[in-house]
Chain A
Amino acid sequence: MSQLPWHSLSLNPLAAFGILLTLGVIGGQIANRAGRLPAITGYVLTGLIIGPASLHLLNQELLSAADLFVNLALGLALFESGRRVDLHWLRVERTLLLTTLCYCLAVFAALCALLLQGGLGWQASSMMAALGMATSPIVILEMLRETRAEGQVSERLTTATALSSLLSVIVFAIALGSAHLQNQHSTEDGILSPAWLILGSSLLGLLAGLLAIALNRWLGSQQRQRQTVLLFGLIALLVGLSVMLNTLPSLALLVFGLATRNLRGGHTVSEPGLLSGSHFFFVAFFVAAGAQLAPQTLAAYWPLALSYLLLRSAIPMLCWWLLAPQNCLSRQRGLWLGLALNPLSGGSAVLVSMSTLALGPDAAAFTGTMMAVFVISELAGPLLTRLALRRAGDLPPED
């Protein structure tokens, strides 16, 4: 009887995805009902419990196999986030653009100073600081969907999130190039790599946008369902191509979304919105993100991680508080908007793995600190965003 299947039972990728989804939904509901926590926090906690750090129900190999769904979730979120950037609005409301630039650069400078002070090298510090500029599009979009938030804080939050992600990947690519140079890798790595990362990714995103608009027009106005399938296909293709061409998928997808929103004829490319159909992937994404967390890193790196997070929370709050009246907000709502920007970008984990190759001796400290940062941020971020949106008055009254 030794050949019966349960004697050599091991999960395959599909079963792993099923577990991510099923346990994720159950965990999200428990967190919501028992602790009145956001469902996202429940998904992340579920991942943490079933992942390699705890019960080990999912190992690293299976998590890697589920990467397909995770990357697609990230792609959908980044595309949608790019579509939230309305260049027409930014031309009218320049203060919003300036405020975002201002707080992102302030966060970058402050984090650099902190990390240098904490003993990290210049390259590792600048890369970590670049990652700290970005707010997570996937968390923000999911929180807005879950809470049904609407209003000026939410509107500015989504735009600032997309812009901060754009800035973050650009600065990160430059920092990465500089790290290659400093560590005496080839000149190509140092100069061509950031140029390729930024220009190549942007070009890919732009081409995808133009293609989506052209194909949308060709399919015709009565083919909405096919247009939606096409868009899913293009997003998956762009994620895959970006990885194949060693560009930055996050930048390419943000540019893709931005292009379809702002180029002529792109307005109807995403109708009905993709977000309702993306929920499957988002749940899997958050559970997988939870499973990737490494709470043990907190033991060694918690002081630096905590300082990092406090600083990147305080600076946006201060900037938005100061510039709130110019942004048509009360000072209080400005403060809450700054807090709502708290969740750290979900795509950062990918960038962290890219950085380790370039950093040499600083790689261990860099990875350890970032992992400790993720543990706190993934759990606290959604909670803080919901609190901020509620206090800002953007949530509908409970029926």
Chain B
Amino acid sequence: MLEFNNSTPLTLGVELELMIVNRRDYNLTRGSDDLLLLIDRQPHGYDIKPEITQGMIEIGTAIHQGSDTMLQELQGIRALLVSSAQKLNLGLAGGGSHPFQHWSEQQIYPKERYQLVSELYGYLAKQFTVYGQHIHIGCPDGDAAIRLSHYLARYIPHFIALSASSPFYQGMDTLFQTSRLTSVNAFPLSGCMPCVENWTQFNEYFQHMAGLGIVASMKDFYWDIRPKPEYGTVEIRICDTPLDIVTPTLLAAYAQMLAHRCLEDGWHDIQAAHYHTYNYNRFQACRFGFDGVLVDGAARQQTGLQEDLLSTLNALQPQARALNCEKELSLLRERALKRQSDSQWLRAIYRASGSLSEVVRRQSEHWMYGSNA
């Protein structure tokens, strides 16, 4: 039986997976151990840990009421990481996938869980060297977490378009705005949560799957959105890691505003029919970003993703006021209006330089030394 640890509603936290690259040709490098060792020489109290392969590192924030304090914490984490990485001649970068690394060259981090994942999934584990942002939103109880998980599914294409930063994969331009999700899709337990209506039903589903020997814990589900009972949160796992440290806080603010509206309105329109178009809309956002087309199955109509995002943002004014994140809302609107995405920026660098190594160099400079504005 999974117990949902209640948390303060609408509190926030984010986790960011980052690339560790060498500063010679900017390929991924097995630097996580050396970096963690150096960081842990000084007392810090931040959550910085290894990830599935040794060219990755994950940072996580504490629990925040709003995105402004979250940004301050991210700045602190970045300063610590940068000073250590500089001493080791390592680069750190955001972005959903490394543009030219080869999956077969990656090494699984020597930790029991990762070794088990590698044994079970074979090459998929190494191909999972992709980098995402996870957003946690506090929920008052398990039932609310289930409702919020279903509610947010409708807005998943928005998060994809706003965070897209993986146009290149294995040395090629994929023509997608985000190629990262293709690696996630290969896992059998990816996709979306089943259409359960409350925490009791979710528990029944979980027990059933555990009884069949398919899962042992919630970590075995690679869903785009999943309840996280031990934290008392709903976790959005769809976003690429953005190229800077401001965008993650904007995405968190967007999730917070949507959650506020869901919980405040007592939304409960859980229907399997809503998921009929889920994968199609998700694909549209991955492939075309802001230019994608979203299909509303119930209304039998199509809307441009940018238009849908802008109208959602406009409707969130009251929540932005209530949560004191009007600045974040305005920045999100500006980006949506300009169709401003990290993927475009990366492609522009590649067009100018013809070098994927140069692309990563700029990515790394941007994450490590970019402005906080």
Which residues of A, 69-92, contact B by the 8 Å Cβ criterion?
A: 83-84, 86, 88-89, 92
B38–A268 CB distance below 8 A: no
B89–A86 CB distance below 8 A: yes
B-side interface size class: 20 to 34
- Residue numbers in B under 8 Å from A188 (CB-CB): none
A146 interface hit (Cβ, 8 Å):
no
Instruction: Tell me which of A148, A220, A267 has the highest count of chain B C-beta atoms within 10 A of its own C-beta.
Output: A267
B242 interface hit (Cβ, 8 Å):
no
Question: B107: which of A84, A273, A397 is its contact (CB, 8 Å)?
Answer: A397
Q: How far is the CB of A282 from chain B (nearest CB, A)?
A: 19
B355–A221 CB distance below 8 A: yes
Bound state CA distance, A12 and B61, in angstroms? 69
B133 interface hit (Cβ, 8 Å):
no
Q: In the complex, identify which listed stretch (A150-158, A287-295, A297-305, A312-320) lies at the interface while the others stay far away.
A: A150-158
Q: How far is the CB of B237 from chain A (nearest CB, A)?
A: 29
B354–A396 CB distance below 8 A: no
- Residue numbers in A under 8 Å from B358 (CB-CB): 267-268
Bound state CA distance, A112 and B271, in angstroms? 85
Question: A268: which of B29, B86, B355 is its contact (CB, 8 Å)?
Answer: B355
- Residue numbers in B under 8 Å from A396 (CB-CB): 30, 107
In the complex formed, the residue of B with least CB distance to A159 is B89
- Residue numbers in B under 8 Å from A86 (CB-CB): 23-24, 89
Question: B87: which of A88, A221, A268, A328 is its contact (CB, 8 Å)?
Answer: A328
| Chain A at the B interface: SS class | loop
C-beta contact mask, B357-373 vs A, less than 8 Å → 1, else 0? 11001000000000000
Bound state CA distance, A267 and B34, in angstroms? 25
Question: B34: which of A151, A221, A222 is its contact (CB, 8 Å)?
Answer: A151
A222–B354 CB distance below 8 A: yes
In the complex formed, the residue of A with least CB distance to B352 is A221
Bound state CA distance, A273 and B88, in angstroms? 22
Question: B355: which of A84, A93, A151, A271 is its contact (CB, 8 Å)?
Answer: A271
- Residue numbers in A under 8 Å from B88 (CB-CB): 152, 155, 328
- Residue numbers in B under 8 Å from A221 (CB-CB): 352-355
Q: How far is the CB of B270 from chain A (nearest CB, A)?
A: 46
Number of A residues with CB within 8 Å of any CB on chain B: 24
A267–B361 CB distance below 8 A: yes
Bound state CA distance, A222 and B354, in angstroms? 5
Q: How far is the CB of A209 from chain B (nearest CB, A)?
A: 17
B31 interface hit (Cβ, 8 Å):
yes
- Residue numbers in B under 8 Å from A390 (CB-CB): none
A331 interface hit (Cβ, 8 Å):
no
Bound state CA distance, A267 and B24, in angstroms? 9
Which residues of A, 209-236, contact B by the 8 Å Cβ criterion?
A: 220-224
In the complex formed, the residue of A with least CB distance to B356 is A271
- Residue numbers in B under 8 Å from A223 (CB-CB): 354
- Residue numbers in A under 8 Å from B355 (CB-CB): 221, 224, 268, 271
- Residue numbers in B under 8 Å from A271 (CB-CB): 25, 355, 357
- Residue numbers in B under 8 Å from A397 (CB-CB): 107, 110
A152–B34 CB distance below 8 A: yes
In the complex formed, the residue of B with least CB distance to A261 is B24
Bound state CA distance, A283 and B89, in angstroms? 30
B24–A83 CB distance below 8 A: yes
Question: With A328-B38, A328-B87 in contact, do A150 and B30 touch (Cβ < 8 Å)?
Answer: yes
In the complex formed, the residue of A with least CB distance to B83 is A92
B23–A89 CB distance below 8 A: yes
Enumerate the 8 nearest inter-chain pairs by beta-carbon distance, A residue then B residue, closest first: A221-B354, A89-B89, A268-B355, A150-B30, A152-B34, A92-B86, A222-B354, A221-B353
Additional 5 contacts, C-beta under 8 A, given A89-B89, A220-B354: A88-B23, A89-B23, A151-B31, A151-B34, A328-B88
Could you name 28 residue pairs across A and B whose Cβ atoms are closer than 8 Å? A83-B24, A84-B24, A86-B89, A89-B86, A92-B87, A93-B86, A93-B87, A148-B105, A150-B30, A150-B31, A151-B30, A151-B31, A151-B33, A152-B34, A152-B88, A155-B22, A155-B88, A220-B354, A221-B352, A221-B353, A224-B354, A224-B355, A267-B358, A267-B361, A328-B38, A328-B87, A328-B88, A397-B110
